[in-house]
Chain A
Amino acid sequence: MGEALLDSLSQVLQLQTLGLMLLGVAIGFVVGILPGLGGPVTLALMLPFTFTMEPVEAFAFLLGMLVVTSTTGDITSVLFGIPGEATSAAATLDGYPLTRRGQSGRALGAVLFSSALGSVFGALVLALSVPVIRPVVLALSAPEFFMLTLVGLTFVVALSGKNVTKGLLMAVLGLLVALIGIDSQEGIPRYTMDQIYLWDGIPLVPLVVGLFGGAEVLQLMLSRSSIASKASDVPTRITGVGEGIRDTLRHWPVVLRSSAIGSTIGMVPGLGGSVAQFIAYGQARQSSKNPEQFGKGAIDGVIASGAVNNAKDGGSLVPTVAFGIPGGAATAVLLSAFLIAGLDPGPEMLTTELDVTYSMVWIVVLANFVAVAAAFAFLRPLTRLTFISGPLLVPFLLLLLGLGAYSSSNSFGDVLVMLIAAAIGVACIRWDWPRVPFLLAVVLGGIAERYLFVSYSLFGWDWLLRPAVIGMAVVLVGVFVVPALRRLRNRPQTAPLTEDVRS
């Protein structure tokens, strides 16, 4: 194995391969920064160029591009509060507040460095697990996914902030929004208001972009100050990147746990990055020493969302390589690149074609490091952006909103969804209702329903007896009951009074 690893490294380090990877990284870099324009679309656009390439070259180009989009997607989230990808929503939650305090350098340093670490973790998972992964992937099925969505939904309570009832109400609203679309059991259009556009449900990217980005842009227009207007010490510490890196190292358990969550969820086709980020973010909050800082600029929240995103890419390659079953749209394109290159996924990838598999591992790692290094080089000018006058950024940010929404399905309906989401986001901030439980429920609601029905159809009621399900149920009870007990013990009876509603 060691030999194969080195052998594949030397393949990747060929001049032409490396050049193609850098080209891919450059494209992925830009695409990641632009909201809405995501990895899968770009891969599909670039696929024709790989027809004439060698397998390793093709992967260097495509994979390099793909893994970088999720890294740089976080940059837009942190700097402008507009998620660069649907999977970068969690990064806005704490990254953007840090930026507003003038600590964008620190936040970017943390999110980028944890991304790099996460990608290494994901790549390791890919390298180590490919030979042994089959039983694990096959053992995880709809019941486990359903339980995982439940675990995710319990974070609603934690992420609601001060007012749990408001959080729960927003979550129920999110569940209702998640129900919009054709139901997967009987094919009935639900809450579609006679619009065929809504049959596929509310698109996630416009929703995320509007919910978080819309309010921020409007805020800039109203206040006419710079993004980092809260900064007290403007020009002296403009970067703080080193601090972010140190933060990441200090919070290494968060990196590890989030990476593990990312690569596991990436590994099983089904849930995907938009779910993984919130589960990682939620667990980071659960285990944090200062959970009350979450949503207001907790650096461990930033680190968790950075690490999870990139670990998931390595994980998502596992089923593609091992079974020829892509976990998502992006890996589906990679699979066609596989077939075009004349490679057969499956056992061969672990024997005769092992060097190709390992070259993918190297590409994931190298591409991320190149991208992160390049991003660090650009950090200074990027963070400066947050100090210039806000209104100057407005035309540019509005463009990002419009394009980010529209490119979801090239329809004006997407822009409308974005605008409605923006209105909800603004109202939430104005009257102090939490936005995150809403988004979490939108992401998880539809999935929970689908997997509950699939679980029952596949296994009858026996699905409740599956070991992993029971295990997760125990965790769930732990997550719910233990903090509740602790709170009960710590808090005097008059507690509700101190928890006053601000409005």
Chain B
Amino acid sequence: MTTPDTPAGTAPAAPTARQKTEHRLPVVDIVISLGLAALFGNAFWIATEWSERAGLFPRMVTLLGVALALLHVVMLLLRARRAVPVVESRVDADDEAEGDVEYVFAHAGGRVWAGSLAWVAAFFVGLYVVGLFVTAPLFAFTYLKLSVRRSWVFSLVYAAVVFAVLYLAFEVALQLQVPPGLFF
């Protein structure tokens, strides 16, 4: 949960490129593992306050976690020392699918990241504040118009269709609850 998911894709991408010919120290993996070790350690500490039956599993799990995370760090360090400067042998045919998404995440520029995350944030904040029926068409319109740069007509029609479908399906037909927003 505390995995550092810093959206600044540029920062970790840089070292990988630079260290291709040196000993490759997988900094991010080490940081993640240490973070996990800290998380498990903290969870273990919390679990010590519980009774034996309620605490048994948590203590076992968290201890195992701390041990594994530290072991992983040691393994990474050992391997980095030993490793020959291997040219990155990325065989894309071998793992196209994941590798491809990974490639996108690793190579999207900082501005693209910031932009995309801002749109996502806008959508969910909108969902929280003004509810689904306002957010959905509004987001569809602004996103298509401003980010995808489609025509006015296209964006408006898309937004209208989104609203109509949502309204008919959730409000009229099924009467299901949707995020209402703060003021309704």
Contact = CB atoms under 8 A, between A and B. Distances in A.
A151 B140 CA distance: 45
Interface string B72-84: 1001100100110
A477 interface: no
6 contacts: A165-B75, A188-B51, A190-B58, A423-B3, A430-B105, A449-B57
A399 B158 CA distance: 13
Interface residues of B, number: 83
Which range holds the interface residue count of chain A?
35 or more
Contacts of B167: none
A146 to B, nearest CB: 12
A185 B53 contact: yes
B178 A406 contact: yes
A503 interface: yes
B26 A503 contact: yes
Interface in A177-234: 177, 179, 183, 185-186, 188, 190-191, 215-219, 221-223, 230
A44 to B, nearest CB: 11
Interface string A465-503: 000000000000000000000000000000011001111
Contact of A296 (B97, B144, B175): B97
Given A221-B116, A391-B147, A407-B177, A429 B101 contact: yes
The 8 A-B pairs of least Cβ separation, nearest first, read: A97-B97, A395-B140, A427-B5, A221-B116, A172-B65, A222-B108, A430-B105, A503-B26
Nearest to A496: B79
B100 A100 contact: yes
A415 interface: yes
Contact of B29 (A223, A295, A431): A431
Given A222-B112, A395-B162, A398-B139, A188 B50 contact: yes
A499 to B, nearest CB: 10
Given A222-B108, A222-B112, A501-B79, A176 B162 contact: no
Best-buried of A230, A391, A424 by chain B (most CB within 10 Å): A391
Contact of A222 (B47, B94, B113): B113
A502 B88 contact: yes
A191 B113 CA distance: 32
A429 B7 CA distance: 13
Interface in B13-71: 16, 24, 26, 28-29, 32-33, 36, 39-40, 43, 46-47, 50-51, 53-54, 57-58, 61-62, 64-65, 68-69, 71
Given A166-B72, A223-B108, A500 B116 contact: no
A185 B54 contact: yes
Contact of A45 (B32, B128, B174): B174
B153 interface: no
Interface of A: 30, 37, 41-42, 45, 96-97, 100-101, 165-166, 168-169, 172-173, 175-177, 179, 183, 185-186, 188, 190-191, 215-219, 221-223, 230, 292, 295-297, 389, 391-392, 394-396, 398-399, 402-403, 406-407, 410, 412, 415, 419-420, 423-424, 426-427, 429-433, 445, 449, 453, 496-497, 500-503
A402 B166 CA distance: 13
Contacts of A431: 12, 28-29, 32
Contacts of B124: 402, 415, 419
A430 to B, nearest CB: 4
Nearest to B26: A503
Nearest to B32: A431
Nearest to B1: A420
A432 B68 contact: no
B54 A399 contact: no
Contacts of B5: 423-424, 426-427, 430
Contacts of A426: 5, 105
Contacts of B127: 402, 415
Interface of B: 1, 3-5, 9, 12, 16, 24, 26, 28-29, 32-33, 36, 39-40, 43, 46-47, 50-51, 53-54, 57-58, 61-62, 64-65, 68-69, 71-72, 75-76, 79, 82-83, 86, 88-90, 94-98, 100-102, 104-106, 108, 112-113, 116-117, 119-120, 123-124, 127-128, 132, 136, 139-140, 143-144, 147-148, 150, 158, 162, 166, 169, 174-179
The prevalent SS among residues of A at the interface is: helix
Given A96-B97, A415-B179, A503-B26, A221 B120 contact: yes
A173 B38 CA distance: 12
Contacts of A169: 33, 36, 65, 68-69, 72
B116 A399 contact: no
Contact of B96 (A165, A177, A230, A394): A230
Contacts of A168: 68
Nearest to B82: A497
Contacts of A222: 104-105, 108, 112-113, 116
Determine which residue in B98, B123, B143 has the highest number of CB atoms from chain A within 10 A of its CB, and name it. B98
A371 to B, nearest CB: 19
Contacts of B116: 218, 221-222
A423 B32 CA distance: 14
Nearest to A420: B1
B54 A215 contact: no
B178 A218 contact: no
Contact of A186 (B16, B54, B98, B101): B54
Contact of A503 (B16, B68, B148): B16
A427 B3 contact: yes
